Amino acid sequence: MTKLSVNINKIATLRNARGANNPDVVRVALDCERFGAQGITVHPRPDERHIRRQDVLDLRPRITTEFNIEGYPSSEFIDLVRLVVPAQVTLVPDAPGQLTSNHGWDTKTYLDFLTEVTDRFHEKGIRVSIFVDADPEMVGCAARTGADRVELYTEPYASMYSKDREAAVAPFVRASEQAHRLGLGLNMGHDLSLENLRYLHERIPYINECSIGHALICDALYLGLEETIRRYRECLNP
């Protein structure tokens, strides 16, 4: 079964626009679980423009599915994740002011750094996933860090999907096969939607988890949150 993890950053963005607690991030997370989400993802950034440190602390005791915290492994981020001890941490190479994740790690260049960080999270029993491009070499070096999974950055697939879906998915199939051969778990994330998700899963049936936020929240404006989650799960487990 491929799990659906709902990224709730956009809920926090909406809340922060007015400064109060509407919508309530914790309540929405619990509703996502109630409606069928099998995980909750958050990406706290240093400027707290969406998910805040306090949100992470508030969510941890309430989440009953898998809690995934993603972010750049600064000393502050590492300390927060080791304090909270989620099911999974996803390491992304974002600069502090970056709008959104737009590339994976160069795991060859940062092999020693990522190995050290992975070890620190493993000390707490936290599963580690490394965000990489669909490049078999980067997947191979990610395996050398001792990480448990890779998350493939799927924006290139989403961008090309409407023009040539076979060409769009081909590098992801190759990278996924490399991960599979090396015994790595496999996650996917970024710009996945109801339009392109089913085909990706059909071509790569052994994905462990898809983390989806922006498109899912946009769809929920029209379909409602419960129906949206049902449709995304149906794409992954028809």
pLDDT of residue 142: 98
The mean pLDDT value for 230-234 works out to: 98
pLDDT over 70 at 100, yes or no: no
Q: What is the pLDDT of residue 101?
A: 59
Q: How many percent of the chain have pLDDT more than 70?
A: 97
**H or E segment to which residue 36 belongs:** none
Its pTM surpasses 0.85? yes
Q: What is the count of structural domains for the chain? A: 1
CATH number, domain at 88?
Answer: 3.20.20.70
Residues with catalytic function: 43, 70, 190
Model confidence band, residue 103 (pLDDT cutoffs 50, 70, 90): confident
**CA 214 to CA 232: how far, in whole Å?**
13
**Confidence band (pLDDT; 50, 70, 90) for 97?**
low
For the segment 177-196, what is each residue's pLDDT rounded down to a tens digit? 999 999 999 999 999 999 99
Domain that holds residue 62: 3-236
On the CB side of 214, CA atoms within 13 Å amount to 10
Closest CA to 105 of 78, 70, 75: 70
